[in-house]
Amino acid sequence: MNNRLEQLLEIHKEEPHDTFTRYAIALEYNARKDLEQAKNWFESLRADEPDYVPTYYMLADVYRSSNEPDKARAVYQAGLQAAKKVGDAHAFSELSAALEDLEDELA
């Protein structure tokens, strides 16, 4: 485990419901190519904080990296709904583009 991940996990122990800390932990696992841990952390965050839109883009990317395109598609679609719900036009645009790229890859 690297120092940054250890620090984030310690913060998480003190503040287990802090959205950004949980997101940062998932990002660290993703950066380390520990895709199973990244999925677990992102999925848990998505379940607890469905309006935290950045989770969808990164989780779908993890599924793409894991060669699970159907799950990636479903996450992008859920992210589009979340972005629309919270009025995040920028995230909606990014998620739309990513979903289009995925569809092009699968065609």
The pLDDT value given to residue 1? 52
Q: Where do the domains of the chain lie? A: 3-106
Task: Spell out a b/e string for 73-105, using b for 16 or more CB atoms within 10 Å of the CB, else e.
Answer: bebbebbbebbeeeebeebbebbeebbeebeee
pLDDT-based confidence at residue 93 (cuts at 50, 70, 90) = very high
Average pLDDT value over all residues in the chain: 96
For 17-55, the pLDDT digits (tens) are 999 999 999 999 999 999 999 999 999 999 999 999 999
CATH architecture of 3-106: Alpha Horseshoe (1.25)
| 16, 9 contact by CB (below 8 A) | no
The pLDDT value given to residue 2? 64
Cα-based distances in Å from 32 to 18, 21, 105, 106: 22, 17, 25, 26
